[in-house]
Amino acid sequence: MKNIIEVKNLVKTFKGGVRAVDDVSFSVQQGQFFGFLGPNGAGKTTTMRVLATLSQPTSGKVKVNGYDVVKEPDAVRKSIGFAMQSVGLDDLATAWENLILIGNLYGLTVLQAKDRARELLEMFHLEKAADRYVQHYSGGMRRRLDVATALMHNPKILFLDEPTEGLDPSGRRVIWKYLQDLNKGGTTIFLTTHYMEEADYLTRDLAIINHGKIVVRDTPKELKRKIGCSFINLELSDKDRKKAFDLICEKFKKLNCRLVPGGLEIEIAEEDNLLPAIISALDKVKVEIVNFNLHSPSLEDVFLKYAGERFEGEEAGKGIDPYVRMRQRPRH
Amino acid sequence: MKQSFFRTFSYLFIRAIKQAIRPLIAILPSFFMPLFFFIVYSYAFTNISNLPGFGGSSYLAFYSPVALLMAVFFTSGDAGFELMLDITSGYFEKLLLAPIPRLAILLPRIVAMGLRALAQSIVMLILLFLFGAPLKGGIVGILLIFGLVIIFGMGWSGIGLTLAALTKNPRVLQTSFIFTFPLTFITTAQLPKELLTGWYKVAVTINPLTYILEGVRGIMTQGVDWHQVAVSYLVAFLILVVTSASSIWAFKRMVR
Ligand SMILES: Nc1ncnc2c1ncn2[C@@H]1O[C@H](COP(=O)(O)OP(=O)(O)O)[C@@H](O)[C@H]1O
Ligand SMILES: [Mg+2]
């Protein structure tokens, strides 16, 4: 498969010296569903804006669909659709007018634009509101319409910057479903999101960016596998917690066990299968297990491992693996 | 790869017109304010026109061209606000994302303002005529007035567009009005030049708006004087050239 996006040594420095993208290189294959993850301020939006010709690179080379973003911006623009982080719609026009105008600007005839608009309105469940002014739309409707406008000209590559931010679960499903179909039809998708389950569900290739640098790049499956362990969470009463902790530390010396609010968390290597042994050992000393669960690493664990240190930066030097500290935060 | 300039221009021209008349009620203030001044001044200052310098015409006749131009003046300020609205709403970036010539985003706004100025002066002329304003210039005069307000409307819109593109700040644009609005007063709007003195007279003489106003006023109250018409057209045209150049410069700087 050929690379449809190629980024080489991209640097973007803003006035005032902020180096938002710091020597980034990567490529995306044609037909991929690519996830671009990272904490707030990591440089995701800045990178996408350069790829979409909205912002000039400070240095480096960027090719999209084979065209150079600096030298052939219009060819790049024709190849891509971009649903930006903040919605950009004409509020004093209807959804219908919004779509038709954008279609026309990309060279569709009025007839073609009408057909396409009808199709997209239906796909995004907006046909009933099609003739209402956009200013009266709810946030979710605006978001869906915004994604629809990015698709009017059937772009080869679709950039989506947090497209499901602020959507309710059903609105999110509508977009997921459509994106999957679109990708199956051959469109390359470049997605950023804050929702790890979304990235896990949709993408087949991932990069995590932090402080303007790409820290890891792989398939979601491989990234999760590389974590190399699963987690057992035991919920225990306060009086038993310390007792259980001491017991496990003593009996299972190799395991990484730690106290967390309300119980214990134990890391076990996937292949060890120590759960029954741990439970029976605790049972023997009459520790009452209120609840327990075993989970394999999720994309969230991956994310926290590679980009989680942002929250704990200062304390990382105190000899505690920042990843471990992160895991002690309550889950939601 | 780029879309044609004229196609893009026409699509965005239509949009600029739609944006201007939505909601319809928003265009009323630009009529209301000039008519308000017109009515109040015409009645309050009826007797002033007995002074020499008015050439025997009534104050109502004297002031009606001011009302006409004030309407155009207010409307042309909207161009900057509408561009600002697009910038703050994020729609402007949507347009930048399209494979279209960049200037085809800006120029339709200026030309649309010409059409709006025309539509507005048609309505204003009818209203003023009903109030008893004279139209000495006849049909030719009316056409000359229309031509003049089209050029002036486009020209004046360039100031707001320049400021919007340069600052991208709605507050600055709002404030700029405080500086441009007095220009409409420091003209022969209230009194003929013969009755003005000192620095005020100097200021009025160098204010380009004075010449536009005198052009329209001449046509309405005296008839077509080709010399005066030529002067007013020349001034309007100069305004258009200068402000278009500045707005194009500011725009290119913004989208670079
Ligand atoms: N126009 C700008 N001027 C100056 N700094 C900016 C600008 N846009 C973004 N930044 C800075 O660049 C960094 C990366 O921002 P961004 O790409 O928006 O991050 P993300 O999308 O990953 O949350 C941040 O530190 C942000 O403050
Ligand atoms: Mg962002």
Taking one residue from A and the other from B, the number of pairs with CB-CB distance under 8 angstroms is: 68
Domain positions in chain B: 5-255
- In terms of C-beta density within 10 A (0-12 exposed, 13-18 middle, 19 or more buried), how is residue A317 classed? exposed
Question: How many angstroms separate the alpha carbon of residue A195 from the centre of ligand 2?
Answer: 13
Task: Kindly report whether the peptide bond that precedes residue B23 is cis, defined as omega within 30 degrees of 0.
Answer: yes
Q: In percent, how much of chain B has pLDDT > 90?
A: 60
Q: How close is the nearest chain B Cα to the Cα of A167, in Å?
A: 19
3-state helix, strand, coil in chain B (%, to 5): 80, 0, 20
* Interchain CB distance below 8 Å, B91 and A104: no
pLDDT of A320 reads 38
- In angstroms, the CA A160 to CA A267 distance is 35
Q: How confident is the model at residue B253 (pLDDT cuts 50, 70, 90)?
A: very high
- Pocket residues for ligand 1 (CB within 6 Å)? A 14, 18, 20, 38, 40-46
pLDDT of A128 reads 95
pLDDT of A309 reads 53
- In angstroms, the CA A69 to CA A52 distance is 7
DSSP of A173-189, one letter per residue? HHHHHHHHHHHHTT-EE
* Interchain CB distance below 8 Å, A106 and B18: no
- In angstroms, the CA A108 to CA A121 distance is 17
Instruction: Find tokens 């405080």 and name the residue.
Output: B178
Going by alpha carbons, the residue nearest to atom 24 of ligand 1 is A41
In terms of average pLDDT, the best of B2-11, B24-33, B71-80, B234-243 is B234-243
SS3 A61: strand
- In angstroms, the CA B79 to CA B177 distance is 13
SS3 B231: helix
Amino acid identity, position B174: Q
Tens-digit pLDDT profile for residues A149-177: 999 999 999 999 999 888 888 888 888 99
Residues 6+ apart with CB under 8 A from B47: none
Amino acid identity, position A303: F
Give the largest Cα separation in chain A, rounded.
78
Going by alpha carbons, the residue nearest to atom 18 of ligand 1 is A45
- pLDDT > 60? residue B248: yes
Residues 6+ apart with CB under 8 A from B165: B83, B106, B247, B250, B251, B253, B254
- In angstroms, the CA B183 to CA B116 distance is 21
CA distances from B48 to A25, A100, B58, B69 (A): 77, 57, 9, 22
- Residue A106 touches partner B, C-beta closer than 8 Å: yes
* Interchain CB distance below 8 Å, A75 and B95: no
Report the pLDDT averaged over residues B58-73.
89
CA distances from B7 to A74, A92, B2, B111 (A): 16, 22, 11, 15
- In angstroms, the CA A256 to CA A268 distance is 7
Q: How confident is the model at residue B1 (pLDDT cuts 50, 70, 90)?
A: low
Structure tokens at A266: 């134990």
Report the pLDDT averaged over residues B65-78.
89
- In angstroms, the CA B110 to CA B80 distance is 10
CA atoms within 13 A on the CB side of A259: 12
Nearest-CB residue to A105 (from B11, B90, B256): B11
CB < 8 Å to A133, chain B: 22
- pLDDT > 90? residue B109: yes
Residue pair A197/A189 in contact by the 8 Å Cβ criterion: no
Tens-digit pLDDT profile for residues B132-187: 889 999 999 999 999 999 999 999 999 999 999 999 998 988 888 788 878 878 88
Residue pair A297/A227 in contact by the 8 Å Cβ criterion: yes
For residue B86, the tally of other CB atoms under 10 A from its CB is 22
pLDDT of A313 reads 37
Q: What is the DSSP letter of A134?
A: G
Going by alpha carbons, the residue nearest to atom 21 of ligand 1 is A45
Sites in chain A below the pLDDT cut of 50: 310-332
Report the pLDDT averaged over residues B193-199.
85
A189-219 burial, b if ≥16 CB within 10 A, otherwise e? bbbbbebbebbbebbebbbbbbbbebbbeee
pLDDT of A242 reads 86
Residue pair A52/A41 in contact by the 8 Å Cβ criterion: no
Atom of ligand 1 nearest to the CA of A38: 22
